Structure 1
Amino acid sequence: MNWMQDFTPVGDNLALSAIIALIPALYFFWALAIKRMKGHWAGLSTLLVAFAVAVFAFKMPVQTAAMSATQGAVYGVLPIGWIIITSVFLYKLTVKTGQFDIIRNSVLSITEDRRLQALLIAFSFGAFLEGAAGFGAPVAISAALLAGLGFNPLYAAGICLIANTAPVAFGAIGIPIIAVAGPTGESAMEISQMVGRQLPFISVFIPLYLVIVMAGFKRALEIMPAILVSGVSFALIQYLSSNFIGPELPDILSALGSLVALTVFLKFWKPKTIYRFKSESETAAASEALKIEEPAAGYSKGQVFKAWSPFLILTIFISLWGIPAVKLALTGHYEGTNPFLIAINSIGHLLTFSPEVPLLHNRIIGGSGDPIPAFYKLEVLGAAGTAILLAAIVTKFVVNISWKNWAEAFGETFKELRMPLITIGSVVAFAYITNASGMSTTLGMTLSHTGEWFAFFSPVLGWLGVFITGSDTSANLLFGNLQKITAQSIGMDPVLAIAANSSGGVTGKMISPQSIAVACAAVGLAGKESHLFRFTIKHSLFLLLLVCIITFVQHTFLQWMIP
C-alpha cells in the first residue's frame, strides 16, 4: 500500500503545518541548548518526537516511518560512524607510538602561538580534508590534532566546526554542487561560479573570526598580517578555481595555497607576543619563577616526516577515494577500460550492497507524483572510512606497532565511541523521517512564500536543510528545485537561489546534530554535545545572517555578479 506525502496535513494550512513540522527541530534545540541532555538521549528522544509528529500529524504509516528511521540509522553507521571510528583510531595510533609528540614539536617549531596553530590546522588543513573526503573526516581529524596539541577539547571541536564553514560547499571533490546540477537542470559550472562569488567573502573573514572567538578582537589585531595571508590566499584561490576550473578542486587548491602561504610567511614574520591559553601562561610563569627550563626536543627531518606520515598516507588514500573514476570502481559502477580500475571494480561490486528498504522502497509518493526509491546504502570499499582504515594499516608498518597492539587500539577506539555512534545513528534516523514524511518540504514551502524577501531568506533553506540532514549535498538535493521554482516566480535568478542554498547550508554544518556528535567523539567529549551546541549556535546564526545579506545585495544591487 502506497502513501502520498501531504505537505499541508493540518487543516490544509501551510503555516500551521510548518509550525507542527518545526516541533522536532525545536525540541532538539531545547534538549541540547536548554535542557543540556547528553547527545545520545537528545538524539533518541528527538527521533521519538519526529516519529510521533510524522505518524500523528503528517499521517505517515507507522511501518513506513519506522523503516525510514532504520534507513537513516544504517547511513549513520556507514559511512558516517565508520569515518569517526577510523579517524580517531588513526590518531590514537600516533599517540600510542609516541609519534604525536614529534608532530606537536614540529607544529611548535613553526609557531608556538595558539592562534596561528588554529589557522594552520583547523582552517587550512581542515579545509584540505573537507575537499578530499568530507562526511565528518575534516572535523574529526583536525579537532583531534588540536586537542592533542593541548587545546581545550571543547574549543578544539568548536573552532574546527566554525573553520569548516569555508570549504563545505565544495567538499568531497565538489559533490554538493555537482549533485544539485542534475535535478535542477542548471549548469554545475554556473552554480560553482555563483558560489565562488559568495563564499570567498565568508572565507576571507573566517580566519579573523576564528581568532576573535579564541582570543578576542585585540589579540586578533596582533596577528592581522598572518590572518590576512591565510584568509586572502584561501579566498582568492577559491574564487579563481571555482570560476575558471569548476567545483571539483576549489577546496584542495585553496587549502594547500593557504597552508603553504602561511607557513612560508611565518618563516619571515613572528608575532610580537606569543599567545597561549591561560592555564599554559600560568604554568610558564611558575616555571620561570622557579628557573625551570623545559628541555628542547630536537628531531631530525626524517623523524618529523615519519611522525606526519600517517596523515600524509591518509591524505593520499582519501584523495584517491575522491577521484570520480576511482570512486565508481570502488562502488562497482566503473564502465571504463582502465585494467587496474576494472580489477578494483570487481572487488567493489562484491563489497557494495544496496538492498531495498522493506515496506519503504517506492511506497512513498512524493510531491511530483512519482514513487520515492529507498535503499540501504552499504558501500564497504567505497566508504571514506575504509580509506582511513587502509591508511591505518599502512601506518602500522611505518610506526612499527605490533598487530596485537594495533588491534587493541582499534578495540579501545570502538569501545570509547559506542555512545557517539548511538547519537549519530539516532540523529540521522531523525533526519530521514523528517524528509520522508514531508516535514522538510513543508518548511521549505513556507519560506518560499516570503515573496520579494525570498532573496534574503533563500540561504535559510540551505541552513535548515543542513541542520536536518547534516550534509550540504543532501540539503541541495532536498531544496534545490524548490529554490529554482520560487526564484523564477519572483524574478530572482535561479542560479543565485541554488547557490544561496549551498552557501547558506555551510553555516548550518556547525550545528548539525551529526557534526556535533562527530566533533565531540573526536575529542573525547561524548555526552557533552549540549555544551558544543551552545558554543556553535550563535556563530552559526551570525554567519547565516552574513550570507543572507550577501545574497540579497547580489539580487538587488549587484546583479552583474551573477554568471
Structure 2
Amino acid sequence: MYTQIFDPVAHSVGASAAFAVLPLLCLFILLGLLRMQARWAALASLAVSLAVAVLAYGMPAGQAASGALEGAAIGFFPIIWIGINAIWLFKLTQASGHADVLRRTLARVSADQRVQAILIAFCFGALLEALAGGGAPVAICAVLLISIGVEPLKAAAVCLIADTSPVAFGALGLPITVLAKITKLPVHDISVMVGRQAPLLSLFIPLILVFIIDGRRGLKEVWPLAVVAGVSFALAQFAGSMLLPVELVDIVAALVCAAASIGFVRVWSIGTIRTDLAKSRNAVSTTGEHFAMAGGAAMAATMTGGGERMPRPGSTPAPAARIDSTGDILRALAPYGAVILVVALAQVGFIGHALGAVTSSFPWPGLHVVDPKGAAVSATGAKFEWLLSAGSIVLIAGLLSVPVLRLGAGVAVRTYIKNLHELRWAVFTVCCVVGVAYVMNLSGQIVTLGIWAAKAGPAFAPVSPILGWFATALTGSDTSANALFGMLQLTTAHHTGLSDILLTAANTSGGVVGKAISPQNLAVGAVAVGMMGREGVLFRRVVGWTVLMIAALSLLVYLQSTPVLGWMVP
C-alpha cells in the first residue's frame, strides 16, 4: 500500500513543489525551447515523472510503473482511439473519390475566396474537429483552401486559428469527458461552464480569418457573413452545452453555422468578389511557391487520395468541368451523417444500454494507492466502454459508410492499417503524455502543485485558463492538457474557495487557444501547405491572435469568479 504524501521533501510544500514541477518543466523546455520532437520530449518527461515519484515521493517503483501503464492505456483508449477512427473515416472518402466531391461542392457556394475560407476553415473545419480533432481539420482544410487558390501561408494560418473554439467539445466531447473522468465532476456541469466561456472566441474568429485573408478590405466587404457565422456557431454551442449530450454539441453547432452561413450567402450581395488574393497582398515568394507546389501537391495526393491536380498557388482555379450529382454529394456527406446518426441512436435508452453493457471495470493491477485520509485514489480503477466510447462510435459509423461509398472490405482494411502506421508516433506521444499525468496524479505530485498554487488565492482565477493554454500548446491536445492539469485545477479550487467547475472548465477553454500554436498543429499545417521546416513563420503569423484570445478568456474567467459574472457558474 502506498499512502500519498504531499510534502515529502523536508516536509515543505514549496520544496516538494520544486520537485513535482520537474516533469512539466522537462516537457516544456524540450518542446518549447530545445524543439525536440514531441515523442521524445514526452518520453523524457515520463521518465522524469517516474524518477520524482520513486525518489522524492517514495512511491514503490512497481506501482509507479503500473500507473504509467494505466495512463498509456487510457491514452490509447479512449483518447487517441477517436483520432485513429475519425481520420480513417475521412480517408475512406478519399479512397472513394468523394473528398473531391465535397471540395467542389463547398467551392461552388461562392467564388469569393474570403467566403470560401469561412465555409471551409470555420464551418467544415468545426465539423471535422467535432468528429476527429488531432490536427485533421488543419491538414484537410488547408489542402482544400490551396486547391481553390488561397496563398499557402494564409491557408495554413487561417486553418490554425479556425481550429480553436470547436476544440473544447471536439472529438465528440472527449476533452470534457476525460476531464470529468479524472476530476469526478459531472460532465454536464463542465459542459455548461465551458459553453459559457468558449463561445466568446467563436464570435470573433470568422472576423480574424477574413482579416488574415484580405486585411481591412476584407473586413469591410465580408464582415456581415463573418458575423453571421460567428454568432450562429456561438449561440448553437452555448445552447447545445446545456441541452445536448456533450458528443453532439460541436456537431450541431457546426451544422447550424454552415446552414446559416450558406443561407446568408444565397441572399446577400457581397459587392466585389475576390477570387485571386494571393497576388494582391503578401504575394508568395518563388521559394514559397516551390514549397507550396511540391509539398502541397504531395499533401493533396495523400489527403485526397490522388484526386484532381491542384492549381498553381496564386492562380485562379479553372472552373470545375464536372457537375457532381445529388447522389454523389449525399454519399460524400454520408460518413459524417453516419456519425451523427450513431451518436443519436446511442442516446436511445435500450440501444445505449446495450452498447454500455460491453464495458470493463476493474482495479488496475499492481496499484494500491490511498490518500492521507486512507481513502482509495480514484485513478486506481479503470473503466473501458468498448462500444460506447466516442472512438468506437466513429468506427461503427465508418463501417456503415463503407458500402455507401461503394468500397470493398479489402480497401477499408488496407486503409485502416495504413492509417495506423501513419499515426504510430502520434499514438506513442499521447500515451506518454497521459502516462505522465497518471504518474503525477497517483504519486501526489499534482496535488502538491495545486496546494502550492493555491497560495495565490482568488488571484489564481485569471491564471487558470493560461495553464490550459500552455499545456495544450506544448502537448498539442486539449484532452492531454486536461489529463495533465485537471487535478491541479481541482485541488487549487478546493484550497482557494474558488469554484471547481469554473477552474476545471477554464483549463479546457484556455486549452482551445493553445491548439493554434502547438508544435504538432504547426507541423501539420506546414506539411499541408508545403512549408516543411518553416513552422516558425506560421507561429509568428498566429501567436499574436492567440495572446489576444487568451487575454480575453482570462478576463472572462476572472469576472466569473467575482459577483460580476458569478451567476454564470452552474
TM value normalised by structure 1:
0.78
Counterpart for residue 552 of structure 1: 558
Distance 1:518 1:43, change over 3 A: farther
Structure 2 unaligned regions, length at least 5: 279-283, 294-309
Q: How many residues align?
A: 530
Distance apart, 1:230 and its partner CA: 0.9
Which of 376, 381, 385 in structure 2 is aligned with 1:371?
376
Residues 424, 16 of structure 1: alpha-carbon distance in 2 compared, 3 angstrom cutoff:
same
Residues 154-165 of structure 1: matches in 2 within 5 Å? 162-165=161-164
Query: Is residue 34 from structure 1 mapped to residue 33 from structure 2 by the alignment?
Result: yes
Partner of 2:364: 357
Query: Offset at 1:67?
Result: 0.9
1:88 Cα deviation (Å)? 2.2
User: Does 1:300 find its partner at 2:320?
Assistant: no
Cα deviation per residue 1:256-309 (whole Å; 9 max; x = unaligned)? Answer: 321211111122334632365545899669878xxx955532112222112222
* Cα distance, 1:357–1:528 mapped onto 2, change above 3 Å: farther
Deviation (angstroms), 1:70: 0.8
Cα distance in 2 for residues equivalent to 1:405 and 1:183: 38
Instruction: Pick closer, same or farther for the CA change 1:354–1:177 going to 2, 3 Å.
Output: closer
CA distance in 2, matches of 1:207, 1:324: 38
- Is the 2:485–2:507 contact (alpha carbons within 8 Å) kept by the matching residues of 1? yes
CA contact (8 A) 1:89 1:413 kept: yes
Q: Look up the match of 1:78.
A: 77
Which residue matches 1:448?
454
What's the counterpart of residue 304 of structure 2? none
Inter-partner Cα distance in structure 1 for 2:505 and 2:157: 26
Q: Post-superposition shift, 1:201?
A: 2.2
| Alpha-carbon distance in 2 for matches of 1:460, 1:402 | 47
Q: How well do the aligned residues superpose, as a CA RMSD in angstroms?
A: 4.3
Contact 1:51 1:65 in 2 (8 A): yes
Distance 1:229 1:508, change over 3 A: same
8 Å Cα contact 1:169/1:176 also seen in 2? yes
In the alignment, is residue 416 of structure 1 matched against residue 441 of structure 2? no
8 Å CA contact 1:516, 1:533 repeated in 2: no
Q: Which residue of 1 aligns with 2:141?
A: 146
Superposition deviation, residue 548 in structure 1: 1.4
Specify the code of the residue in structure 2 equivalent to 1:372.
V
State the shift of 1:97 in Å.
2.0
SS of match in other structure, 2:6: coil
CA distance in 2, matches of 1:183, 1:43: 20
Moved more, 170-179 or 255-264: 170-179
Q: Give the deviation of 1:204 after TM superposition.
A: 0.9
**Pairing partner for 1:312 from 321, 337, 360:** 337
Q: Give the SS at the match of 2:165.
A: coil
Asked if the contact 2:526–2:534 (Cα under 8 Å) also holds between the matched residues in 1, the reply is no
Aligned residue for 1:353, secondary structure, equals: strand
1:61 and 2:70 are equivalent in the alignment: no
Report the counterpart of residue 122 of structure 2 in structure 1. Answer: 123
Q: How many Å separate the matches in 1 of 2:52 and 2:525?
A: 28
Structure 1 CA distance, aligned partners of 2:422 and 2:36?
A: 19
Q: CA deviation at 1:250?
A: 4.8
| Contact in 2 for aligned 1:186/1:495 (Cα 8 Å) | yes
Tell whether the 8 Å contact from 1:483 to 1:501 is kept in structure 2 after alignment. no
Q: Distance in 2 between matches of 1:418 and 1:464?
A: 25
Q: Percent identity?
A: 33
How far apart in 2 are the matches of 1:325 and 1:464?
42
Structure 2 Cα separation of the partners of residues 417 and 559 of structure 1: 43
Report matched runs for 1:218-367 at 5 Å.
219-242=218-241, 250-269=249-268, 270=270, 272-274=273-275, 278=284, 279=289, 296-321=321-346, 326-332=351-357, 348=358, 352-360=359-367, 363-366=368-371
Cα deviation, residue 105, structure 1: 0.7
Contact 1:54–1:60 (CA<8 Å) still a contact in 2? yes
Letter in 1 for 2:165: A
SS of the residue 1:331 aligns to: helix
Equivalent position of 2:404 in the other structure: 398
Do residues 22 (structure 1) and 29 (structure 2) align?
no
Cα distance in 2 between the residues matched to 1:208 and 1:323: 39
Distance 1:113 1:419, change over 3 A: farther
Partner residue in 2 for 1:430: 436
Distance (whole Å) between structure 2 residues aligned to residue 188 and residue 421 of structure 1: 25
Report deviation, 1:218. 5.5
TM-score by length of 2: 0.77
1:457 corresponds, among 459, 463, 479, to: 463
Distance 2:246 2:396 in 1: 27
| Equivalent position of 2:105 in the other structure | 106
Q: C-alpha distance in 1, partners of 2:81/2:190? A: 31
- Return the offset for 1:231: 0.8
State the secondary structure of the residue aligned to 1:302.
Answer: helix
Match of residue 344 from structure 1: none
Is the Cα contact below 8 Å between 2:457 and 2:496 reproduced in 1? no
| Deviation for aligned residue 1:69 | 1.1
Contact 1:77–1:424 (CA<8 Å) still a contact in 2? yes
Q: Which runs of 5+ in 1 are unaligned?
A: 333-347
Which stretch of the first structure deviates more once superposed, 278-287 or 426-435?
278-287
Contact 2:198 2:509 in 1 (8 A): yes
Q: Please tell me the residue identity of whatever aligns with 1:439.
A: Q
Change (3 A) 1:251 1:396: closer
User: In 2 relative to 1, CA 533–31 (structure 1 residues): closer, same or farther, beyond 3 Å?
Assistant: farther
Q: CA deviation at 1:51?
A: 2.0
